[in-house]
Structure 1
Amino acid sequence: MTPREPRRLAVDGELTVLTAAAQKERLIGALQTSSGLRVDLSGVDEVDTAGLQVLLLARREADRLNVPFELGPVRGGVAAVLAMAGLDAAEEE
């Protein structure tokens, strides 16, 4: 049996206090129904501390479930914010 590919989930627009609750539900729900998650952040143009908290929570939940969790691709400014928070992400090419 081969491991299944992580599910891809795209996040677009802003990942801020205005969208954090809804994105949290999407990410946690996707983690609970998949064998892993790759969060595509290439459409995110703004992230704040609430958005970072959601991503950190999702990573912690993936660890708890023992499933892969990946971030990327991301664009330049968002990549810099994620790096400052210790979240590794593949940059968009």
Structure 2
Amino acid sequence: MDGLEADGRLRLPPNVTTLMAEDLRAGLVLAADHESAILINASETVNIGQAALQLLIAARQEADRLNIPFEIENAQAPLIARLDALGLADILGLTGKGETMQ
């Protein structure tokens, strides 16, 4: 995992594998503590594994529970399409962000 950016956003790598789940969990905790929001930069992410998806869903639910912002930013069309096919785009707040998909 690349970790937190200077502005508190968690940057996801191109491929988020199950082996990265523990690092992702730690990064999500740190992101939640920074500015009371969970902001995730997925600009380079093309593939994300099941364990990472479960963590992102849990982080979304926790953000909702705490009433703090949760956003996956800069997600590219292939990632959005994959999450939409899995029925997870809406849960993760990515519905409507893939208008440029072909």
In the alignment, residue 44 of structure 1 is paired with which amino acid?
T
CA contact (8 A) 2:8 2:34 kept: no
Q: 1:88 aligns with which of 70, 90, 93?
A: 93
Distance 1:25 1:81 in 2: 25
1:68 corresponds in structure 2 to: 69
Distance 1:7 1:65 in 2: 18
In the alignment, residue 12 of structure 2 is paired with which amino acid?
V
1:8 corresponds in structure 2 to: 9
Give me the CA root mean square deviation. 2.1
Displacement of 1:79: 0.8
Distance 1:88 1:82 in 2: 10
CA contact (8 A) 2:42 2:72 kept: yes
Q: Structure 2: state its 5+ residue gaps.
A: 1-6
In the alignment, residue 88 of structure 1 is paired with which amino acid?
G
1:3 corresponds in structure 2 to: none
Q: TM-score, normalising length from structure 2?
A: 0.71
Q: Structure 1: state its 5+ residue gaps.
A: 1-5
CA contact (8 A) 2:12 2:42 kept: yes
Report SS of the residue matched to 1:38: strand
Distance 1:64 1:33 in 2: 17
In the alignment, residue 82 of structure 2 is paired with which amino acid?
V
Displacement of 1:16: 2.0
Displacement of 1:66: 1.6
**Structure having greater relative contact order (Cα 8 Å, sep ≥ 6):** 1
Instruction: Give 1:34-49 correspondences, 5 Å limit.
Output: 34-49=35-50
Give the number of equivalent residue pairs. Answer: 87
Report SS of the residue matched to 1:60: helix
Distance 2:45 2:51 in 1: 14
Identity %: 31
Distance 2:52 2:45 in 1: 11
